[in-house]
A and B are shown apart, each in its own frame.
Chain A
């Protein structure tokens, strides 16, 4: 159970809003790129209608500057897409790990439930007092596992919301 629940085998938690923030950044950059492309088209139009060489040179320089901005924007978009891919990978790993953790925790809980069940009808005088003690205290002692399972299921739901 431990390697799956402690984070040794993979992430066991996802930061809330991480995917949304990345996606918002990407969408913002994509809008920025469209704006730059519009700007370039506008400058090209102005250059084609330039009255003299001086004006033509001015618009050519403006276009070159926008081209540099467009390249930088494309690079940022590629980087953000790569980050989003990494995020997707991270979230999928966390979901897998958490599911395993929950399965193992349930298995552990069921072992205790099974053992308690086994002593339910115990009548051996030597064992009976211990069996009764175990049975009577069962609800509050097993609840720790149920609380932990709920906690991990909440973490799992949180990760599911973070799937890109």
Chain B
């Protein structure tokens, strides 16, 4: 794993609160095959205590979690985006999740559903958290310029508005 220069910012923006897994799949995860295992791995742990190997392999869970729970595990996935190889499956699940949908995006018939998901997510994040998301996308682009396009798209469509990160607390 590579070093994440934004780890302190992630810690400051996403506090280490133990996650209560109950209810994680009620909003949109009833058909997720690994709900039980994912929930077990998540329950009672803070995002920094989650097993990075497990959550990297099961990054598909992000497509099934309720919004509150996405936010609970988001800092881990932002961290994994920067410390794993840019080709890891995390990128393929996380970056679409962070991209404001456009009507032309595939699958077009999910535009409305994806827009609801995106709006719920972005409205639930604090400005500080959004700035860390933006900074993570920028860092990913810098570190993996060949893989930059999807991260750049996410920035251009929404996160560019959250440019600056708060200075580290002394």
Contact = CB atoms under 8 A, between A and B. Distances in A.
Contacts of A155: 92
Nearest to A153: B106
A50 interface: no
A15 B143 CA distance: 13
B30 A151 contact: no
Nearest to B106: A150
B52 interface: no
Contacts, number: 75
Contact of B146 (A11, A17, A147): A17
Contact of A146 (B57, B88, B89, B110): B110
B87 to A, nearest CB: 4
Contacts of A15: 85-87, 146-147
A112 B64 CA distance: 14
Interface in B121-150: 146-147, 149
Interface residues of B, number: 28
Q: For the side of the interface on A, what is the size category?
A: 20 to 34
25 contacts: A11-B87, A13-B87, A13-B91, A15-B146, A16-B146, A16-B149, A112-B31, A139-B113, A140-B27, A141-B28, A141-B30, A143-B63, A143-B113, A144-B28, A144-B31, A144-B60, A145-B31, A145-B63, A148-B63, A150-B96, A151-B63, A151-B92, A152-B92, A154-B92, A155-B92
Interface of A: 1, 5-7, 11-18, 108-109, 112, 134, 137, 139-148, 150-155
